[in-house]
């Protein structure tokens, strides 16, 4: 099949989407490592953990929202990648 301008723009968009998905996955891994570090730090002093959670409750809620949004964006991006790869297979 003849490759037109759409093929090349779709291929470029696919590479950007794959890079974004990789960055999102790396960010989620970093967040998990931070959680493990916090767990190890607060394991010995539970009072400090409770105090910190109450004090930073609004910030923790915002952080949880951003993490959930990042996970949703990653799932959407992976679905987009799958569709773009399927469309590019028509050209090959």
The pLDDT tens digits for 3-25 are: 788 889 999 999 999 999 999 99
Taking the C-alpha atoms of 74, 76, 70 and 38 in order, what is their torsion angle to the nearest 10 degrees? Answer: -50
Q: What is the mean pLDDT of residues 61-80?
A: 97
Residue 41 reports pLDDT greater than 70: yes
- Angle of helix 57-91 relative to helix 5-42, nearest 10 degrees, comes to 150
pLDDT given for residue 2 in this prediction: 67
Q: What is the mean pLDDT of residues 20-38?
A: 96
The mean pLDDT value of the chain amounts to 93
Residue 47 reports pLDDT greater than 70: yes
- Angle of helix 57-91 relative to helix 46-55, nearest 10 degrees, comes to 80
pLDDT given for residue 48 in this prediction: 92
């Amino acid at each position: 099949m003849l490759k037109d301008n759409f093929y090349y723009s779709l291929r470029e968009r696919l590479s950007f989407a794959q890079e974004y998905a990789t960055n999102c996955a790396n960010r989620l891994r970093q967040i998990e490592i931070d959680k493990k570090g916090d767990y190890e730090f607060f394991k010995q002093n539970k009072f400090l953990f409770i105090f910190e959670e109450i004090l930073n409750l609004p910030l923790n809620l915002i952080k949880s929202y951003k993490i959930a949004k990042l996970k949703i964006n990653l799932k959407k991006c992976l679905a987009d990648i799958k569709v773009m790869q399927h469309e590019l297979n028509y050209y090959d």
